[in-house]
Chain A
């Protein structure tokens, strides 16, 4: 099945996830690289024009050679020296990696870059893009031949938790042992869903919002049962807010809220 994450299980039994880059992000990175190559070509042209005063033939030959080397060598050089990144990939936080999580080898870098000749057919990386879409690991043909993948290194966006959660009395905090159980039972995906729901509450239709928070609250209540007097009279949205507070703001980091 095609997913956007590659899971690697180490012999020690630990699983780590590598988020795979899709064809669109990679296309934008390629556009940046093309722009860089354009700038390099312009600079080379200017330098070579000066050499033309000495020998026109030599200058033209040098121009052809340097442009060819830049065209072929840009990807190879950058990815080898910057451990799987070109300028475009750096900007878009992408990196080429070995498909098994091992170190990227020189031969892998060369093969994936030389096979751009076939990935780029018939124009604008159509073959590579289609291969990327249908491949399980979002690999173009060059990646398949070189055993490489392109992963994303997204900048984690820190939500403003103080704005979102602070200043409210949280009745769940009165039961530290249940708090701990809640933290243990809620999966990262569930915690993220609760936080996203709170952050985007104003974007939701009122009916959909009520339904969403009802479902989330019911789910969290099914995971850990707090005493009835603790949760009595709390709206579903507030309950989810309290759960997110427990999950994302450990005890030591919270200011003691004033009792209402």
Chain B
């Protein structure tokens, strides 16, 4: 096709400028909702600019104009063909009490698998420490391997948590950030087709089982429950949910039982992964506070109260995860973008006619 380029550019430029102005407004304000007339105009300008690009695409002498039009068409394409809801308003309570537990339930299979893998690890750790005294120093981290539970209990009860005086806030944030990093790693390792997540969950199970049996065999079961339950009743489920996220990611990568292509599977799973990992972070913040400000205070007079507190937490968490956000039948909330809610009112988008 032979065209008079100068005349062509002069005639079409106003439409390109108008399209660019509309795109700038749409890109600048995520909450902008054009009305039908404005949308029709946007679509017209997009199609016209696309046609102009089609005419210019083999026209060697105007690489700059072609690049400019490609940029415009690419941006308009993103605006017009995007069907996912555009979010912008923060709605954290709705997200936490509805979207998060609903998403958790939607991937219940991965949750139970996460629990099962951890339990296998627990039994392995339990057996290893119970039947092989040398295994303790190899398997248990944070100095537990070399520690005698009875001596530790005696020391902790004597000190009554004084060793943490002046360090509680530091200890609490250290726990929060460390556990959140572990959770993110559990999720990210889902990209190894879930194998890395499985190893991490299994290892966590070994530690839990090993520490538990060590204290039980030393006759310190009450201390163990009073120490672990207040924070562990939230922290351990949180880590299990992080494992659930990794397994959901691994499953999306493998595509078992799905007819969707890899990209479509990843696109579908993405928002749920984000919802769950943000939920895990919230739970870990709570667990960090409890561990630093309650769990580390020991004394026979405190044990019953701490065990009761941990049990109540566990019941509440179970109710929250299984019941919260349930309205008749479970409906699918499309994404973690529900953390950011879209507005209902139409916003004005002024268009300029050339």
- Tell me if A37 is interfacial: C-beta within 8 Å of chain B: no
At the interface, is chain B mostly helix, strand, loop or mixed? helix
CB <8 Å contact, A65 and B77: no
Give CA–CA (A16, B50) in the complex, Å: 10
At the interface, is chain A mostly helix, strand, loop or mixed? helix
Which residues on B sit within 8 Å (CB–CB) of A147? 263, 266-267, 270
Give CA–CA (A186, B63) in the complex, Å: 12
CB <8 Å contact, B170 and A57: yes
Work out how many contacts link A and B, with CB atoms closer than 8 A. 166
CB <8 Å contact, B172 and A61: yes
Which residues from 113 to 165 on chain A have a C-beta closer than 8 Å to any C-beta of chain B? 114-118, 141, 144-147, 156
Give CA–CA (A62, B185) in the complex, Å: 23
Number of chain B interface residues as a range:
35 or more
Number of chain A interface residues as a range:
35 or more
- Tell me if B107 is interfacial: C-beta within 8 Å of chain A: no
Which residues from 171 to 196 on chain A have a C-beta closer than 8 Å to any C-beta of chain B? 180-181, 183-184, 186-188, 190-192
CB <8 Å contact, B336 and A107: yes
CB <8 Å contact, B176 and A103: no
CB <8 Å contact, A115 and B188: yes
Which residues on B sit within 8 Å (CB–CB) of A252? 6
Give CA–CA (A90, B74) in the complex, Å: 19
CB <8 Å contact, A101 and B70: no
CB <8 Å contact, B173 and A103: no
Given A111-B274, A184-B58, A102–B188 Cβ distance below 8 Å? no
Indicate with 1 or 0, residue by residue over A225-260, a CB within 8 angstroms of chain B CB atoms: 000000000000000000000111010100000000
Give CA–CA (A228, B324) in the complex, Å: 85
> Can you add 4 more A-B contacts, CB < 8 Å, to A101-B78, A117-B187, A184-B1?
A10-B81, A18-B74, A61-B172, A145-B270
Binding site for A on B (CB under 8 A): 1-2, 5-6, 27, 47, 50-51, 53-54, 57-61, 63-64, 66-67, 70, 73-74, 77-79, 81-82, 84, 86-87, 166-170, 172-174, 176-177, 180-181, 184-185, 187-189, 191-192, 196, 249, 253, 263, 266-267, 270-271, 273-274, 277-278, 335-337, 339-340
